[in-house]
Amino acid sequence: MQFLAEITSGLAALAAAIYCFVLARRLKRFNQLETGMGGAIAVLSAQVDDMTRALERAQATAGTSERQLRALTERAEAGAEKLELLLASLHDLPEDGEPRRRVLRRRHRETDMEAAQ
């Protein structure tokens, strides 16, 4: 009975050793940089770095475009205001065929003495 227990525990230890050996080989393949998961992680890490740089460039470009667009919008609004003033002044022009009237206004003077002074 004692002998059977020792053989069983020896077989269990041998099985555990084989299991550890198999796991060690799988882990080694898993971590290989060229073919295993380690390579995939390295590639993904490099892609994340590239995407971060691309995002920073895109943000800088968007900021520049926003400033340019804001300046152009302000310039267009100023031009629109000038056009509105010009259109408003066109309404004051006489219609075709209508003579231009010139209005002169004189100040009323109460006495001739004030005019002489």
Q: List per-residue pLDDT tens for the chain, 117 residues long.
A: 888 999 999 999 999 999 999 999 988 887 776 777 777 888 899 999 999 999 999 999 999 999 999 999 999 999 999 999 988 888 777 666 566 666 666 666 665 555 554
State whether 46 and 26 are in the same domain. no
Number of domains in the chain: 2
Same structural domain, 50 and 84:
yes
Q: How far is CA 10 from CA 2, 13, 17, 22, 41, in A?
A: 12, 5, 10, 18, 40
- pLDDT score at 99: 60
User: H/E element holding 73?
Assistant: helix 37-90
Q: Are residues 48 and 85 in the same domain?
A: yes
**2 and 26 assigned to the same domain:** yes
Q: Which domain holds residue 84?
A: 39-90
Considering the domain boundaries, does residue 75 fall inside one? yes
pTM more than 0.85: no
Tell me if 36 sits within 8 A of 43, measured CB to CB: no
115 within domain boundaries: no
